[in-house]
Structures are given as structure tokens and as C-alpha cells.
Chain A
Amino acid sequence: MELNLQQQRLRTEFRQFVDAHVVPGANAWDRQEIMPPEIVRQLANHGYLGAMVPVSKGGAGFDSVEFGLLNEELGRGCSSLRSLLTVHSMVALTISRWGTEAQKMQWLEKLGQGQAIGAFALTEAEAGSDAREIGTEAIESGDDFVLTGHKKWITFGQMADLFLVFARSRQGHCAFLLEQNAPGLVISPLHGMLGTRASMMAELRLEQCCVSKQNLVGAPGFGLSHIASSALDCGRYSVAWGCVGIGQACLESCLEYAGQRKQSGALLREHQLIQRMITQMVAGVKAARLLCFHGGQLREAGDPASIIETSIAKYFACRTAAEIARDAVQIHGANGCSSEYPVERFYRDAKIMEIIEGSNEIQEITIAQSACQTVAESVAATR
């Protein structure tokens, strides 16, 4: 993986930021299920919340690989904080890509500078992997739409100023920009999740919530096929790199621990079964990073193949992070089960990654269908 000088410089900067500001607090944020506003401000002050916002609109305008590296480093420190970058960037990218000029004027600079936080509101209790089943309704009423429904597990829903909300209408699925203080929007915190506990998760009740047609993103009917789809593609890319970060964090924790703790008169790192787990971690992290990097290069080139390659990277990186985190707890033994060490947090967070932004099983369907297509193509070409 060959990074250019700018990417190398940024990677060093991101790593220093995470070591100085994220790693020291991450375990406590997880225990308290809260993301301190101060760390979000620091993220904004460094320009990181503007990663997906063009420089011309007041953002950092990172390229795809730079954005990936930021996700890796934040993921190494705290998956909850990385998930803020994910959902915020999904909203910023959506407005940048599909928003009207008025929507861009109103929101991009604010999002880019972290003066407003964005969140993505698609999931419902009865609609997860199949978003077509969402029950939230948008009924046209003069110059407005009236939204009624219930969104669940909305990452950073407790903190967001702006939601990208999806609903079904008579003309098909729609996407709306909805401000946090909209009448009829009731936000309630969700607690007790297995992982990413500091991701300020919320449920949203839309009770006859009135939203202007000017807040519609894209045309009715394109809400899932284009708006949600491009946002989720960005989300998968972000999560994939974040999983590389989880794997790297586990590896670093294990190398430190195995270099200090002795069992049967030898350091853990001298035991061959521990060496096997460390080897699998090293190889897994490197392979996942390369898949993410490949996806990033394709994204930068605007290549249609970037979509399936992002799915492959997400699938591999999530599974790898989960396996590595499981082994990291194993290497740490009883200490690994204690919140005094970060690996139990990595283990819980890694499990979440296998479910969000397209579960492992959804990725398997998508990737297998694409592979069958590629094989059919090759066979057809040789006839």
C-alpha cells in the first residue's frame, strides 16, 4: 500500500490526534455511554467533521484514501467516535452529492465545520436489512410532507442537529432533511447496547411531523435507490476502515501484553499458540487494509466497481476485526474480560460492525451475486 506524501502526513497527524485525545478517554466514554461534547469540538476544530465536504464549501475535502485513514485511526481509538464521523459524513456527502443549491448553501458549511451534526435515520424496528420495508409514511400536504413513523437505533441521534430521514410516499421512497427541533419530532435516548455504547444512540418518533418540500433530497422515488444507496456506500467504506483500526488496536494491545506477562516461566509472546494468534492478526489487518485501500482508489477514480469492492472490503474487515478481537480477549485471559483493559470494548464493538451498514449475510448475498455475474461474463467471453 503506497501512500502519497500528503496521505502519509495526514496519517501521522490522525494517529497523534487519536493517541492524544481519543485513546485516554475511550473506555470511560464507553462505560458512561456518553460522547463528551469537548471531543466532538476537537474533532471539528481539526476539520475532521468536514472530511466529506469540499474545500470550496468550507470542508477539509479529503480524498477517499485520506478519509479512510482517518476512519482507521479513529476506529483504533474509539469506534463510537468513528461512528460519529461515519453518520455525519453520510449526511454531508448526501447533501453535497444530491442536495439542491439551497440545501448546500444552508448546510454544507455548518456540517463541514462541525457547527451542525448530521445523523442518518433509515432503520426501524421492523426494517433493518430490507430498507424497502420501512413503515414511516410521508403524506403530501400542500407545500409540505407530513411524516409519521418510528426510527430506531439512530447513531448520534441524541446529538444530531440534522437528520436525513427516509419515508415511503405515494410516489415511492423519499429522503428528507429534518432539523432536530422540528415540531412533531420526539427524540429519546437508547441505552444498554452491546457495543459502540458511546454512540449516543436514539429512537425518533415522527408524530405528524411537518417538513417542507424544499427539504426533500432528490426526487420522490429515488430515496432508497440513489440517496440511501450512495450514503450507505460511504457508510460501508467508513466502517470497513474503522474495522482495520479495531484490528490494529487489538494487535497493538496484544503485542504489549504478550511482551510483559509471563506464564509457565516464559513471556506470552514466546508461546507458539500465542504466536499463531498474533500472526493471524498481523495478516488479517494487513489484508483488510489493502482491500480498503483498493476500494479507496476505485472510489477516487469514480469507478462503478468501487461499490462492490467496498462491500468486499467491509465484509472482510468486519469479520477479521471480530475474529481478531475474540483472540485479543483470549490472549489477555481474565484481564481481557475486564473493563480495565480495552480489548473487551474492541470485542463488543467489533460484533456491532458485523451487523451495521449491511450485515455480513447481506454482504454475502451481494458479493456472491456479483461473483456469479463475473463468472457468467467470463464464460460468455470465452465462447
Chain B
Amino acid sequence: MEQAKEKLRAFLGRHIGGRVIGDDEQIFAAGFVNSMFAMQIVLFLEKNFKIAIANEDLEIKNFQTINAMAELIERKTAPSPNNSH
């Protein structure tokens, strides 16, 4: 979990002017995310954590903070027949 957060902090920081993003900071509400960056986040999550983001994952609560994305990764990588890898 901490490793995932570390990667997310680094990725987001790179794309948000080198700024340090807090784990609970609302990145959408703060206006950091345009539509192109939103898709880059999806690709980043998929490539780096070997998960597939699908229709049912499209909820703002899954992407709004580093903690939320780390939880999504955890859920998607947990051994379960419902996970789509």
C-alpha cells in the first residue's frame, strides 16, 4: 500500500508542477486534473499496478485522492474472482 502511494505521489507530483500532493488532497476538486491527465492517471494505474480500470470503477471516490487510488489498487489486486486483470 505504501509503495503504491509512493509511486502515485511521484507520478502526480511530476504532472502537477513538481508540487507535493498530500495523501488526502482532493486532486479533482483542486483543479489539478484536466481530461487528458485524467486518462493518463488511468493508464498509469493500469500499467504500473497491472489492473484494468473498467466501467464499474468510474466513481469519483476512487480517484479523488492518493489514498482513494491506493485503496482502489488494493481492491483490484486482492485475490478475488471479480477482479478483471
Contacts and interface: CB of A to CB of B under 8 A. Distances in A.
Interface in A284-314: 301-304, 306-308, 311
Interface stretch (B1-9, B13-21, B75-83): B13-21
Contacts of A233: 39
A307 B58 contact: no
A225 interface: yes
A373 B36 CA distance: 14
A229 interface: yes
Size range of the interface on A? Answer: 20 to 34
Contacts of A302: 43, 46-47
Nearest to B42: A226
Contacts of A308: 36
From B39, B46, B47, B60, residue with most partner A Cβ within 10 Å: B39
Contacts of B60: 221
A100 B44 CA distance: 22
Contacts of A222: 58
A229 B55 contact: no
Contact of A225 (B14, B17, B35): B35
Main SS at interface, chain B = helix
Nearest to A97: B54
Contacts of A303: 43, 47
B44 A229 contact: no
B72 interface: no
A225 B18 contact: no
Contacts of A230: 39, 42
A100 B36 CA distance: 23
B36 A301 contact: no
A229 B18 contact: no
B38 A301 contact: no
A224 B36 CA distance: 10
Interface in B24-45: 33, 35-36, 38-44
Given A373-B15, A376-B17, A376-B18, A304 B55 contact: no
B47 A307 contact: no
Contact of A98 (B14, B41, B47, B54): B54
Nearest to B59: A219
Interface in A301-358: 301-304, 306-308, 311
A54 interface: no
A307 B39 CA distance: 8
B43 A307 contact: yes
A224 B44 contact: no
B58 A304 contact: no
A228 B35 CA distance: 9
Contacts of B44: 304
Interface string B46-76: 1100000011001110000000000000000
A218 interface: yes
A226 B43 CA distance: 11
Given A98-B55, A303-B43, A304-B47, A229 B17 contact: no
18 contacts: A98-B54, A100-B55, A219-B59, A225-B33, A225-B38, A226-B39, A228-B35, A301-B47, A302-B43, A302-B46, A302-B47, A304-B11, A304-B43, A304-B44, A304-B47, A311-B36, A366-B36, A373-B15
Interface of A: 97-100, 217-219, 221-222, 224-226, 228-230, 233, 301-304, 306-308, 311, 366, 373, 376-377, 380
